[in-house]
Amino acid sequence: GAGVSQTPSNKVTEKGKYVELRCDPISGHTALYWYRQSLGQGPEFLIYFQGTGAADDSGLPNDRFFAVRPEGSVSTLKIQRTERGDSAVYLCASSLIVGEQFFGPGTRLTVL
C-alpha cells in the first residue's frame, strides 16, 4: 500500500514569499503530524491533527505558520512571509495506533 506522500519534494523561494507544503497521509490514518528537521538534528514537532481539528499546535514557532486538514485526510502547511531561518526539511507523519507514526519523505524548503 502507499505510504505517506509529500509534495513538492523540494521548494526554493525568496525571503518574504508565501509557501504551501502538502501531505497525503496513509489511507485511513486519523492522526497527522508535521515536524521540522534542521541539518544534523532530530525532527521537531510542529502540529498534530486528530481528524480535521488541530489537537496540538504548540510546536508552531510563530503566527507565520499555519496548517489545515479540512477533510480529515490531506493536510497543508502554510508559511507566510518566509525567512531564511525557515529553511529546513518539513516532515509529515500519520498514524492509526497511538504513538506509531509513519513518515513521508519530506519537503526540503530553501529560503533565499
CB 90 within 8 A of CB 105: no
Among 20, 45, 74, 96, binds another protein (CB under 8 A): 45
Report how far Cα 94 is from the mean position of its chain's Cα atoms.
11
Please answer whether residues 83 and 92 qualify as being in contact, where contact means their C-beta atoms are separated by less than 8 angstroms. no
Nearer to another protein, 14 or 97 (CB): 97
The region, left, alpha or beta by phi > 0 then psi within -120 to 50, assigned to residue 81 is left
Specify the residue, 64 or 108, whose C-beta has the smaller distance to another protein.
108
Q: Which is nearer to another protein, 14 or 40 (CB)?
A: 40
Confirm or reject binding of residue 41 to another protein (CB under 8 A): yes
* Residue selected from 40, 53, 62, 71 as contacting another protein according to rule CB under 8 A: 40
Helix (H, G, I), strand (E, B), or coil: what is residue 52? coil
- Binding site residues, another protein, CB under 8 A: 4, 6, 31, 33, 40-45, 48, 50, 55-56, 91, 95, 98-106
